[in-house]
């Protein structure tokens, strides 16, 4: 068990570019979550997968955002036409079952310039 891995750890991109982040959850965990965290705030829910099915998307997840978990293992989060307001830490987490605490990854810090 190597924990939840996220790649890259840091990403700097120009406004208007597309970016993609990857998350590898703990192998036996069937649930995977994406959260976004801005400076001085707690994480905010973006979306959730149970196995390969995306079961809910927050209204924070605009049409420029898309997340996939094609085989129920790793997940990707893509942001198209990035904006400066997208600058944040993007956190992935996984769990076995729905109740209780998740295990978070170290996050991907996105800076849009």
Return residues touching another protein (CB under 8 A): 4, 6, 31, 33, 40-45, 48, 55-56, 91, 93, 95, 98-107, 109
Strand pairing report for 53-57 and 31-37: unpaired
How far from 101 is each of 18, 27, 113, CA to CA, in Å? 31, 16, 34
- The pair phi, psi for residue 84, each rounded to 5°, is -60, -30
Nearer to another protein, 21 or 102 (CB): 102
At closest approach, how far in Å is the CB of 81 from another protein? 25
At closest approach, how far in Å is the CB of 30 from another protein? 11
């Amino acid at each position: 068990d190597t924990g939840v891995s996220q790649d890259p750890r840091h990403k700097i991109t120009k406004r208007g570019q597309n970016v993609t982040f990857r998350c590898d959850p703990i192998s036996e965990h069937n649930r995977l979550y994406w959260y976004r965290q801005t400076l001085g705030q707690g994480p905010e829910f973006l979306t959730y997968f149970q196995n390969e099915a995306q079961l809910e998307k927050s209204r924070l997840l605009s049409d420029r955002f898309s997340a996939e978990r094609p085989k129920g293992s790793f997940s990707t989060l893509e942001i198209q036409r990035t904006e400066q307001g997208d600058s944040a830490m993007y956190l992935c987490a996984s769990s076995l079952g729905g109740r209780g605490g998740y295990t978070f990854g170290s996050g991907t810090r996105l800076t849009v310039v």
